[in-house]
Structure 1
Amino acid sequence: MNSKVLDTLEYQKIKDQLLPFLSTDQGRQVVKELLPSSDVNVVAKWLDQSADGATIMRLEGEIPIPKLDDISNIIKRLNIEDASLSGTELAAVTKLLRTTQAIYNFFESLKVNEVELRTLNQLVDRLSLQPEVTQQLVSSIAEDGRILDGASRELRSIRAQITRTQAEIRGIMNHFIKGASAKYLSEPIITIRDDRFVLPIKAEYKQSFGGIIHDQSASGQTLYVEPNNVVEKNNQLRRDKLAERVEERRILAELTELLRPIRNEMKFNGNIIGQLDFINAKAKLAHQTHSTEPALSIDNDVNLRQARHPLIDPQMVVANDIAIGSDYRTIIVTGPNTGGKTIMMKTLGLLQLMGQSGMFIPALEHSQIGIFDDIFADIGDDQSIEASLSTFSSHMDNVINILNQATNHSLILLDELGAGTDPKEGAALAMAIIDRVTEIGSELVATTHYPELKAFAYNRPNTINASMEFDFEKLQPTYRFLIGIPGQSNALSIVEKLGLDKQVVSNARDFTDEDSQDINTMIDELTEQTKKARQEADELKVELADATDLHRDLTTAYEKYQANKEQLAEKAREQANQVVEEAKGKADTIIADLRAKQQQVANSPVKENELMDAKGALNSLEVAPQLKKNKVLRREKAKHDFHEGDEVLVKSYGQPGTLVRKMGNHSWEVQIGILKMKLDESDLEKGSAPKPKKAARPRVARTKSAGTSPTLDLRGQRYEEAMHSLDQYIDAALVSGYPTVTIIHGKGTGALRQGVNDYLSSHPQVKSFGYSAPNAGGDGSTVVKFK
């Protein structure tokens, strides 16, 4: 990617937005070296990493990475033979190794919790864990670089001896502070000079006190004296401290040698942690800016949905849909200045750079970017004083370089193409440049003032006009991008709104070309139609969201109902089976008892009362008492207790009928309207007695039936047949409880459509009706709403 476009589109400012979210020097280095890639596999891998970072941020907060210093200089020192690291350097290495282990453990916990990641697990698996080395460093070096007592037994012993010696010295010197010698002290404290414990003695008492003088105050009034009876103790303390330093140097050398064989692994770990820190930062920035993952198009079909410029205040920026590559490869944006043309073009270019850098883009989900081998931009005033070039010359110099370098996989952004010279020559030059870009095969977005380019764009294949919307009522741009509509000149309309004499404005219009006026009128109408369509689309979007929510709630409620219904039915079956089993067991017991009694000898006949008791016991098992009292079972039984003349509901058709006669064990002849049909009892449900008909159709409960479709297709039927079908269908739909149905009549000659309209106009239960939406059939179908 050429460096000029990075400067023109302010790519560095995007990288600067990542810096506050970084924790490591390695991560900052990754951002410093970051550049967009034209390799689709690399970009896809980077975006997968960003998606993993976003997933982790959503579920766990972020990858646990503390502040880490760059250890590259430490690695260089390890490459020098016999060089030893300091405690501070070892502390930095210890922190890196501990962080490596912590990150590995973190990702292992994600695996246990079955968190789905695309690629980061493979990256983390490449970390080189050094548990033994890490443990030894942790037990030897403190976070501030101090060597801990646990580094070696010898060091622990030496430091214990130092502590005892210091305690003995302080004990002796405390006698001077609290005893008779206290009068010689300038203040009652013990201090240190030249690593030896001393007392502050008044200068006039130096002969009386005795001892070795090590220092004096600036005024000379105080001498720092080592008493004679602690000299040997101080000597012992010095020897112990020298031994401590020797042991510490030995420990540092030993730990350094421990790290030397794994120096390359540590450097590699640092690089991976830097990558993870960078991925963390991308996820945080995406969350802050409400950015989403773009899809990739190897054909460079760009489709940005409600894209926002990432460097403009989110409260002020206007989002726009920007598409290029699929239906057209060249966009000519016309219209006046201050309308946002340049910002729109920069938004396209900058979001491409972000996406090709593996970053999420500030646009709605399902946006798509291309993989361009290079992006070229000539935007802004490039007047060069040093090269003695005018604005026009400088722009042309840039355009020449672009045309020499661009390929059929490039994206070119040209602002104010052909400006800065004679309008006719400038317009001709702009057309020729656009044709040249078309020959190369690059995708192009160009802005211009020249009206000639409007017709030029209209007549060229794979080329489309575009403009930025302008609010004439408020006399200000809306910054909305209008694809397919060329820009119009606003000068005369603006000055008229501002109050310029109407005669002057009229004279000015007379001077303008009549074709230009017609074009401006056409553009004004197109702009108004587009604005209206956008408003309707926004309203439909809200209605669709509400309908989707309602459908989801109804589906959930229906699923719960179905689940509960099955559970209740299963429970009822289990209870019934249990009752039957119990009754069968009791009956078997009674029968066995009777048989046993019948086998008794003749001189011991069964008594009459015993037979009566057994018969009563059997009769009591005929219907279980709890089932006799069960209201649900009684109600279900009543629904299927059929007799000739009963009113029934035919479930498969959702229609009422009358039982004519029984035609078998489980079949009936049923009268449905003018039809007689043979139906199985399982398809029938006993209904209420017929009610006297009224002039108006009674309102019915809106309970949908599975037997009637919410759509009636009349296409292919004759007029009389269609009207009869329509009449029967409306009755069935009302019985089925549909609040709304759709009648498909087609367009054809319009006779069938008119007949449907006439019938619906006269029906007392029809609340309203109208043609379907354009994307749902238009005037080929009619949507009916019932009262």
Structure 2
Amino acid sequence: MDERILEVLEFDKMIAELVEQSASSLGKSKSQRLKPSADFDQVVRWQQETDEAHHILRLKERVPLGGIFDIRASIQRAVIGGMLNANECLEIASTIYGGKQLKHFIEKLEEIDAPIITSFANEIVPLNELEREIKSCIDDDGNIMDAASETLRSLRAKIRTSENRVRDRLEEMTKTKSNMLSDAIVTIRNDRYVLPVKQEYRGSIGGIVHDQSSSGQTLFMEPQSVVEVNNNLQAARVEEKQEIERILRVLTERIASDEMFLRQNVNALAEMDFIFARAKLAQGMRASRPSMNQDGYIKMEQARHPLIPADEVVPNDVELGGDFAAIVITGPNTGGKTVALKMVGLCTLMAQSGLQVPALDGCELAVFSNVFADIGDEQSIEQSLSTFSSHMTNIVDIMESFDHQSLLLFDELGAGTDPQEGAALAMSIIDHVMDVGARVIATTHYPELKAYGYNRAGVSNASVEFDIDSLKPTYRLLIGVPGRSNAFEISQRLGLQEKITEQAKEHMDTDSSNVENMIASLEDSRRKAEQDYEEAERVLTEAEELRNDLRKKWKQFEDQREKLYQKAEEKAEKAITNARDEAEAIVSELRNMKEQADWKEHEWIEARKKLQDAQPDLTKKEDHSQSQSSTVDTEQAKPLQSGDEVKLLTLDQKGTVIDQTGKDEFEIQVGIMKMKAKRKDLLFLRREEPVIEKPLATVRGSQYHVKPELDVRGERYEDALQQLEKYIDDALLAGYSKVSIIHGKGTGALRKGVKQFARKHSKIREARDGGMNEGGLGVTVLELS
């Protein structure tokens, strides 16, 4: 994009702030070269990088980016055969260490999804051996250490010995010949130890003069007695320098051998520092990631100009490219029109540079092929033809360069010439831009453009709000509402006579007056709509709170109900368990009685069945009681006859009427037992209808009866099967659908024989063992067909 446009929209100031966020010269260099991109895929990737780094900063606050240097020049010198100095080698070691620290930091971010940042970290090669070699030779101050080589250690020991010998001899002379010295000290000239000798004692001391004072009265002399020792010292120092150079050359060659990995590390570190600098900038101005599109659509809520202090900037909502492709902003000077224009342009450039924008989450921005701007900050009333010409020159260049994917920003479009001509020119320019398909935002003073915004499809009016009471702009951008001049209201507030302003209103043409009245009506409607919206928001919030409260209480009710159900079930289960325990105690007692009174097995089984059937059914107790009461009321008075199926209420068992033995007394068959019962204790259930299709049953006569059970216990196997065969014939004639064969448990031979007989008989549909209430394995129940 054009450098002038970037400067006009103050993109260079954003770059300066970005550079300040960089931790190293690597990041600063990349930040300084940052330019907006028109490549959609690249912009999306940049935004993803920034968002990943921003997410890491939100969770970790600090990223280890210290100790990193731009070592590319040093690497190049090493490769071409130059020798690096100690500080350059130390910077390389420090960069290797910094890279390892950053790589380790990123690898530990298991809970954060940052694939791009992680990929850069994976490119960093931990050159531990090279780092160790450098730091074993050079200390943190950049000095070659004695341990760098055995030769260097020996030479430095020799140097220290020679220095001590020289100093000892010279210090002795300062004591014995102090009267010949200007000062009793040992000093250095030309890297050699000397004494400050008075001019007149030059001959007495003897030796080599290395320097003299400005007055010439003091000579810095190296006495003859220490010349040889000083010569040895200098020779040792030369050898030390040569050894240091040898060590540095070895390190340089070692660095050159790892050139590829070092460059790879530097590139990865530069990218990561650059990315985190963008994230720090976003964090500092409370920015959010924009969703990018290629449709020329812009939507930002509570967007702020990034260069205005947070305590001064006024957030605004902006939308362009949806229902309308052009916005015409009208309003007074110093009201914030230009700021709004620059904000949209600068946020667009930032987004296309991978920077987040200062707006609420969910903002959308487009990737434009180019952004053009004609913005002049001149607020002088002395605009002349030259000013108009300057603006038109820029506009002409823009008209020749833009395309359908461009964003055009015009400040005071058409200004600086005749108002009528300027307004017509402004409308024509906007029409042309829209015909091409680009997006445009223009500010203007011309009232004609207010009506143009209403009549032209795809164009929306906008204005910056002005507070008449305080005579100050609020800097709020109002999309859909054209600006008013407010000249008459401001004049009256400042003290101009009402008579004058009324006369001025009469001079206005009807159209202008109507437009101003329409704008005033729109502003009133907007304020009313905002109030209604706020009220609706309040009511909605209250309704949401009420709904959440009701949901909470309903859940509490359901939880309480579930607890009550569970408590009732536990209580019922406890009652049933108690009843079963009691029943088992009775059964145990009955067993003892059986052993003493020689009860038969089937009597024992029947008694246990009655006890088990007597367990309480608590969940249906009330319904059963009501049902039983209703049945007794309706069926107890019904006359009974032989064969009727009845229920003995005292035992809660079903039975069959055998015969009536008295006025209110009947003999009934309950299971294998016969007993007498009063009519009030019997409940009629059903009556078997005569089976016409079975003449054999009628031949036998209605007085013929057969028991529903056959007891073959104690019988021989063959006799038991003969009895079973005859019994099945009789049961079929009697119309039974189910009979029980009591064979006992014993050896199981009778049980097995009954099952085999049942499988061969064509009228037996099923043979099964008795249930818990039917005698268990001591009984086989036969289903007849």
Same fold (TM over 0.5): yes
The alignment covers a number of residue pairs equal to 610
Identity of aligned pairs, percent? 40
Indicate if the aligned counterparts of 2:186 and 2:194 stay in contact, CA closer than 8 A.
yes
- Matches of 1:343 and 1:523, distance apart in 2: 22
The amino acid that maps onto 1:286 is A
> Among residues 425, 428, 441, which one is paired with 2:424 in the alignment?
428
Q: How does 1:302-341 map to 2 (within 5 A)?
A: 302-341=298-337
The amino acid that maps onto 1:15 is I
State the partner residue of 2:650: none
The amino acid that maps onto 1:38 is A
The amino acid that maps onto 2:154 is S
Superposed CA deviations along residues 176-215 of structure 1, whole A, max 9, x for unmatched, are: 56x6556665545433333333444555555665665544
1:86 aligns with 2:82: no
> Among residues 475, 482, 489, which one is paired with 1:486 in the alignment?
482
State the partner residue of 1:197: 193
Shift of 1:13: 0.9
Q: How does 1:29-44 map to 2 (within 5 A)?
A: 29-44=29-44
Shift of 1:243: 1.7
- Matches of 1:509 and 1:184, distance apart in 2: 106
Give SS of 1:364's match.
Answer: coil
State the partner residue of 1:152: 149
- Matches of 1:135 and 1:594, distance apart in 2: 93
- Matches of 1:553 and 1:147, distance apart in 2: 75
CA shift in 2, pair 1:403/1:490, >3 Å: same
CA shift in 2, pair 1:564/1:423, >3 Å: same
CA shift in 2, pair 1:426/1:195, >3 Å: closer
Structure 2 unaligned blocks of 5 or more: 597-617, 630-785
- Matches of 1:84 and 1:560, distance apart in 2: 80
The amino acid that maps onto 2:299 is N
How high is the TM-score relative to the length of structure 2? 0.68
Give SS of 1:90's match.
Answer: helix
- Matches of 2:547 and 2:145, distance apart in 1: 67
Indicate if the aligned counterparts of 2:75 and 2:255 stay in contact, CA closer than 8 A.
no
Shift of 1:323: 0.5
Indicate if the aligned counterparts of 1:411 and 1:443 stay in contact, CA closer than 8 A.
yes
CA shift in 2, pair 1:557/1:31, >3 Å: farther
CA shift in 2, pair 1:540/1:246, >3 Å: farther
- Matches of 1:125 and 1:230, distance apart in 2: 61
Moved more, 26-35 or 167-176: 167-176
CA radius of gyration, larger in:
2
Superposed CA deviations along residues 305-356 of structure 1, whole A, max 9, x for unmatched, are: 1111112222221110000011211112223322211111111111111111
> Among residues 276, 280, 296, which one is paired with 1:280 in the alignment?
276
Shift of 1:268: 4.0
The amino acid that maps onto 2:7 is D
CA shift in 2, pair 1:564/1:120, >3 Å: farther
CA shift in 2, pair 1:266/1:552, >3 Å: farther
Superposed CA deviations along residues 676-729 of structure 1, whole A, max 9, x for unmatched, are: xxxxxxxxxxxxxxxxxxxxxxxxxxxxxxxxxxxxxxxxxxxxxxxxxxxxxx
Q: How does 1:416-495 map to 2 (within 5 A)?
A: 416-495=412-491
State the partner residue of 2:257: 261
Moved more, 226-235 or 480-489: 226-235
1:131 aligns with 2:143: no
Shift of 1:174: 5.1
Shift of 1:642: 8.2
Indicate if the aligned counterparts of 2:405 and 2:438 stay in contact, CA closer than 8 A.
yes
Q: How does 1:220-231 map to 2 (within 5 A)?
A: 220-226=216-222, 230-231=226-227
Indicate if the aligned counterparts of 1:196 and 1:234 stay in contact, CA closer than 8 A.
yes
State the partner residue of 1:359: 355
Indicate if the aligned counterparts of 2:451 and 2:515 stay in contact, CA closer than 8 A.
no
Q: Which runs of structure 1 show a deviation greater than 6 angstroms over 4 or more consecutive aligned residues?
A: 542-578, 639-644
The amino acid that maps onto 2:258 is I
Shift of 1:225: 4.7
- Matches of 1:568 and 1:190, distance apart in 2: 103
Q: How does 1:648-687 map to 2 (within 5 A)?
A: 662-663=626-627
- Matches of 2:38 and 2:151, distance apart in 1: 60
Indicate if the aligned counterparts of 1:197 and 1:234 stay in contact, CA closer than 8 A.
yes
Indicate if the aligned counterparts of 1:471 and 1:477 stay in contact, CA closer than 8 A.
yes
Q: How does 1:179-218 map to 2 (within 5 A)?
A: 186-201=182-197, 214-218=210-214
Superposed CA deviations along residues 449-477 of structure 1, whole A, max 9, x for unmatched, are: 22222222222222211111122222222
Q: How does 1:20-169 map to 2 (within 5 A)?
A: 20-66=20-66, 68-81=68-81, 83-111=82-110, 114-169=111-166
- Matches of 1:264 and 1:506, distance apart in 2: 82
- Matches of 2:346 and 2:407, distance apart in 1: 12
Superposed CA deviations along residues 119-150 of structure 1, whole A, max 9, x for unmatched, are: 11112222243221121112222344322223
CA shift in 2, pair 1:131/1:379, >3 Å: same
CA shift in 2, pair 1:124/1:211, >3 Å: same
- Matches of 2:568 and 2:197, distance apart in 1: 103
- Matches of 2:449 and 2:185, distance apart in 1: 93
Shift of 1:506: 1.8
Structure 1 unaligned blocks of 5 or more: 603-638, 645-659, 666-787
Indicate if the aligned counterparts of 1:53 and 1:62 stay in contact, CA closer than 8 A.
no
How high is the TM-score relative to the length of structure 1? 0.67
CA shift in 2, pair 1:160/1:115, >3 Å: farther
Indicate if the aligned counterparts of 2:23 and 2:273 stay in contact, CA closer than 8 A.
yes
Shift of 1:250: 0.7
> Among residues 528, 533, 539, which one is paired with 2:529 in the alignment?
533
- Matches of 2:564 and 2:139, distance apart in 1: 67
